[in-house]
Amino acid sequence: MNSMKLKAYAKINLGLDVLRKREDGYHEVRMVMQMVNLYDRIELVKKKNSGIEVKTNLYYLPTNQDNLVYKAANLLIEEFQIKEGIQIHLKKYIPVSAGMAGGSSDAAAVLFGMNRMFHLGLSLEELMKRGIKLGADVPYCIMRGTALSEGIGEKLTSLPSVPSCKVLIAKPAISVSTRFVYENLKLQELNSHPDIDGIIENIKKKNITGMAERLENVLETVTIPAYPVIEDIKNVMKEQGALNALMSGSGPTVFGLFIEEKQAQAAWEKIKVKGLAKQSYLTTFYKVRE
């Protein structure tokens, strides 16, 4: 196997709660993670000569050790003393710096692909243990599907698939620093916390309405006051019939859940007309085979 093509899927958060700030500076979270059918494309090609070569379709992305795909490849090359080199062709479609774990998913795909290409024999659990060294979302991106994420993101519990619906994704023309959001999160001032258990219960019951009613993200308390366009996008989605709308991760991407495709299309058009989003996609939930 000298080459391999992979898909790296984006994620959204159906619920995101922050429990506390740990002594090591990390925040302890409790989140419901869900993948959607929006993905980057990655092609891995073996090289006879050693070294890592990264090529991307976006001029502003780093192609050195500052890119997570490079770090992922280097992690396995160093651990297993792989003599051959690797070319990584990365085509980005997931919005960058958008709260959708695009970089983490790319890194997860490289770990998964290189494990197979170089016959390293690592199980998914073993890949996930290595993934946490690259970022908190990487283990989930290896696992995929629907999951409860706890700790700093490394404690994962697989959940049943979410009922089908249309997912409208809209990213405004801004970038949000995850560090800024967490540094300005005032946990002691939060009036409420997401009903994570209620979200999980309704997923298990296949109750899309009950799940949607409980969508909540505590990081919105920081990001929306700083970037009101996020609330504007949420409001348009709800006005057009979304079951609910929520910011994903630390933002600024917003997603809305729709039963009717025509309502999702109407919201998409209105967001375009108002110029609220730089990138928008109408998609569905990604589901693992059960």
Q: Quick one: 275 exposed, middle or buried, by C-beta within 10 A (0-12, 13-18, 19+)? A: exposed
- The answer to whether 137 is a known catalytic residue is yes
In angstroms, the CA 244 to CA 216 distance is: 10
Catalytic member of 11, 71, 171, 234: 11
In angstroms, the CA 226 to CA 220 distance is: 10
In angstroms, the CA 168 to CA 254 distance is: 8
The SS3 call for residue 198 is helix
Radius of gyration (Cα) for the chain, nearest Å? 19
In angstroms, the CA 130 to CA 107 distance is: 11
- The answer to whether 274 is a known catalytic residue is no
Catalytic member of 106, 137, 166, 171: 137
In the chain, alpha helices (H) = 68-80, 102-117, 124-131, 138-143, 178-183, 196-204, 208-213, 220-226, 229-239, 261-274
In 3D space, the residue among 127, 151, 150, 128 whose CA is nearest the CA of residue 140 turns out to be 128
In 3D space, the residue among 33, 24, 40 whose CA is nearest the CA of residue 93 turns out to be 40
The SS3 call for residue 49 is coil
In 3D space, the residue among 32, 250, 47, 11 whose CA is nearest the CA of residue 150 turns out to be 32
DSSP 258: E
CA count, 13 A, side-chain hemisphere, 204: 10
Q: Which residues are known to be catalytic?
A: 11, 137
